[in-house]
Chains A and B, each alone.
Chain A
Amino acid sequence: MPELIDLARAVAEQADSAAGEAVEAYVSRGRETSIRVYGGEIEQLASAESAGIGVRVVRDRRQGFAWVGALDDQGAREALAAARDNAAYATLDEHAGLARPDGVAPAELDLWREELAFLPTESKVELALDLERRVRAGDPRIRQVVSSDYADAMSESAIATSTGLASSSRRSTCYLFVYAIAGEGDETQTGFGYSVGRSSDDLDVETCSADAVERATRMLGARKPRSSHLTVVLDRRVTATVLGVLASTLSGEEVSKGRSLFAGRLGEEVGSSQLNLVDDPTDVRALGATAVDAEGLATRRNELIAGGSLLGYLYDSHAARVAGTKSTGSAVRGGYRTTPGVGARAVSLLPGTLSQEEIVKEVGDGLLVQSITGVHSGVNPVSGDFSVGAEGLIIKGGELAEPVREMTIASTLQRMLQHVRHVGSDLEWLPGSAAGLTLAIDDVSVAGE
């Protein structure tokens, strides 16, 4: 197998520099295993290798792109030729171009666990089976374990540009996921648990199973609440989801295109003074950590909100040129099939001092939100309108009380940031691009009966 970086370089070197052409090649290869068990047996076992190359060409200040789902010379030639042809059809863009070396050295991050590649399939199956057994045994009201999954991926990528960037990176990831149904009489409730890591040693079967059992069983007896305005306490998983959306509104590209509710608000107070928001892909605890961004620049720690004031936006090299600033190393891409765009990888709020239990006690009366649905359809990053389906537990007299479901919680992102009452101390890195912690927000509309 040739080194990915050599493949990428070989393509980038074909740039017709005399004609002012710049070429970028992004090459990736991954080996994945996924296992689903059901009823003590393997239901699915999939193993696969996939690879591909994406080529970006900028010529006469126009960009073209093409990809091929193969890693051979013919594929690379096909992609380069198509990208060149495609470039002719783009509108002239004075800011078009590839990233250039900016003198920032990539951090040394260890994101690869060789041993994961050698973990026998039997051990992976056993992890999933163990998880399923534990959930079934976790509570007599667990009626069904719909699926218990183990999956891992060993991923490598390389990027090279004719502008002088070349880097490669690799990472290993694995996870356990279980989906359980609890029942009592005619009633059914669901809950899931997961655990994620870079090697199987990081996986916590115990917590994963306990989470699924607790989340499913504690919803039994849930009713639809009355409509009201109250303080909501967002569970860690929920906060991470909300932060993911919030980070998308801080993309410098969206800002310059007039599609961000935070456009033109640099330096202004956009939230409670307790809010400190950072995107730091060099933090190895984050699952989205990476030393090099999707354009080949070093990633770095970017402070976005400090003490409630908006400090900055995220940029890739194009958005930075448009805004007259420098890239923050925030180019992301969804694999070899897409061009880079701006995105956060490792967003977190700096933790406060109170645990979830202490926050619940202090809030006194409110709602603990265990999960939300409809985020994609219900949160508008342009207008800030926020309305999502929710389930959780009523907080009464500082204690968790009866479960509630089939309701929505609604506000606007702008108002929610202003009304943050507590930031929890329980920071946890979760799958996706954000870390979770408990977050209490005042004056949120709950729609039920």
Chain B
Amino acid sequence: MAAAKEELQKSVMTLTEPSLVEPDVLERVLSSSLRHGGDFAEVFVEDRTTTGIALDDRRVEELSSGHDRGAGIRVVVGDTTGFAHTSDLSEAGLAAAAEAAAAVARQGGGGVRRVALELTTVRSPNEVLVLPSEVPKGTKVELLLRADDVARSKSNSIVQVSAGYGDTRRRIQVANSDGLLTGDDRVRTRFSVVCVASGDTGMQTGYETAALTVGFELFEQRSVEEVADEAARRAVTKLTARPAPAGVVPIVLRRGSGGMLFHEACGHGLEADHIVKDSSVFTGRIGEQVASPLVTLVDDGTAGPNWGSLAIDDEGHPAQRNVLIENGVLVDYMWDALSARKKRRASSGNGRRESYQDLPMVRMTNTFLLPGSEDPDEIVAATPRGVYIAHLGGGQVNTATGDFVFGMTEAYLIENGRITEPLRDANLIGNGPDVLGKIDAVANDFDMSPGTCGKDGQSVPVGCGQPTLRITGVTIGGTAGA
């Protein structure tokens, strides 16, 4: 890490680097966007470079690199949004997109509106020490080969390993008709390993990933050996797993990946676009007890280098820490600019989009439950019978009913207060408000984990976290008697 300081200089420099599009061009494009009328116009400019390397079947199959550059322009008239995007960042290209986006402002009578931009800079929640673009490709390839070796040496039963490395640098610029001009330079790095183990009862898989909003220094915090070892251990453990129970049982969720459950169980239902349209079970419940008093839920885009961190959201609003549920009482929802405008309040910095080709909407950043006071081991010890979930995979929620599902990818039986046999993969199903009320123990430990959140066809990186906790009853979708 000798070059670390130099790299830091470089990444700080980028904030003052020449803009992707010159401010005077943005001013003219915004002014012309509102030529036919309209209440608000915005130009979102993005330049994204990515590197991806895939290892599978003992081989580095390919290294791929990509470059996307373009702008999305939206014009808001009353409750209507017009949107167009272009990969042509010349003034003519932007003007054509502005014209298309402004097509919704048909009522005319707009007249001249001059937009003057004022630059705002926002500090990143974390520093990027080593820009991945400065790291030789061969060094990145080496990581994958090492992961393959480590995973295969873990056990003879490991029959297949695939691993992926990815880095992204996303420079954005946001300008709008309120005069805002700001930007961000986000670097994300991830590494993941999937193992297949084979035994007498068939094959099982294990997955583990490390992903942070940092540069190549990710691997100082989390070694590839650790990631590979964890994936292999998970697959091998399940070879002796028995079918999960079918029915309602108490569960103890280990710290970390269980945070995804709260992302689904209530996070999505607290997104203001669902609230504004009355399509969330949490609509109209501010100030009410919606969860056990042990629950304090926070969404925090400034939470250090976590996967969902950002300096500004994709509408140019600074990321912030928002307490959503405090001691079980619903405090606030998450807001983007449009939903906030409808309720005449401020955005909470939750307007995000996958790329310049998409409209922003209300999204989570890093969502987590704050730790409590109990010893995690004692929570298990105080559970006579149940399921201990050490790792959760993906999930899905219906915000209108609150029903959600989740995949358990590493789970064990709890018998007489002890963690015993491993269980095969199964989904668990529950209802958000119901589960929030059934949390009866929260530990003093904590961990975060990275995830990808999909909504309305757009994927964004998010962080999730939680302390070890117990839910008194959740339906496990296995095949054995509960």
Contacts and interface: CB of A to CB of B under 8 A. Distances in A.
Interface of A: 38-39, 41-52, 63-70, 75, 78, 82-83, 85-87, 89-91, 93, 121, 143-144, 146, 181, 188-190, 224, 227, 256-259, 261, 337-339, 373-374, 376-378, 380, 382-385, 387-389, 391, 405-411, 445-449
11 contacts: A44-B83, A44-B359, A46-B82, A47-B103, A64-B63, A64-B64, A89-B60, A93-B61, A383-B425, A410-B426, A447-B482
A135 B53 CA distance: 47
A384 to B, nearest CB: 7
Contacts of A51: 87
Contacts of A448: 247, 475
Contact of B477 (A49, A66, A69, A447): A447
A207 to B, nearest CB: 22
B475 A408 contact: yes
B424 A259 contact: no
A32 to B, nearest CB: 9
Given A67-B64, A377-B406, A383-B202, A45 B104 contact: yes
B81 to A, nearest CB: 5
Contact of A445 (B204, B429, B478): B478
Given A41-B80, A258-B159, A383-B203, A447 B246 contact: yes
Contacts of A63: 61-62
Interface stretch (B33-41, B274-282, B463-471): B274-282
A385 B279 contact: no
B455 interface: no
Main secondary structure of the interface of B (DSSP, over half): strand
B84 A69 contact: no
Contacts of B66: 66-69, 337
B57 interface: yes
A172 B53 CA distance: 33
Contacts of B205: 380, 382-383
A418 to B, nearest CB: 15
Contacts of B424: 383, 385
B90 to A, nearest CB: 12
Contact of B137 (A78, A89, A373): A89
Contacts of A48: 83-86, 357
Contacts of A337: 66
A144 B279 contact: yes
Contacts of A44: 80-83, 359
A376 B405 CA distance: 10
A383 B56 CA distance: 18
Given A44-B81, A382-B203, A382-B205, A258 B196 contact: yes
A405 B406 CA distance: 15
Given A69-B70, A377-B405, A261 B202 contact: yes
B427 to A, nearest CB: 4
Contacts of B198: 258
A69 B68 contact: yes
B400 A181 contact: yes
B461 interface: no
B476 A447 contact: yes
Contact of B427 (A68, A75, A389): A389
Contact of B246 (A49, A66, A406, A446): A446
B79 interface: yes
A222 to B, nearest CB: 9
B230 to A, nearest CB: 18
B340 interface: no
Contact of A50 (B78, B87, B428): B87
B122 interface: no
Nearest to B72: A48
Given A389-B429, A408-B427, A373 B398 contact: yes
B109 interface: no
A188 B478 contact: no
Contacts of A46: 82-85, 359
A121 B80 CA distance: 15
B401 interface: yes
Contact of B67 (A41, A50, A68, A87): A68
A90 B59 contact: yes
Nearest to A219: B401
B209 to A, nearest CB: 14
B405 A389 contact: yes
Given A64-B63, A383-B204, 19 more contacts: A41-B78, A45-B82, A45-B104, A49-B86, A50-B85, A68-B66, A91-B59, A146-B277, A190-B401, A227-B482, A257-B56, A373-B398, A380-B205, A387-B244, A387-B477, A407-B477, A447-B478, A448-B475, A449-B248
B138 interface: yes
B401 A410 contact: no
A373 B405 contact: yes
Interface stretch (B2-10, B212-220, B309-317, B388-396): B388-396
B81 A406 contact: no
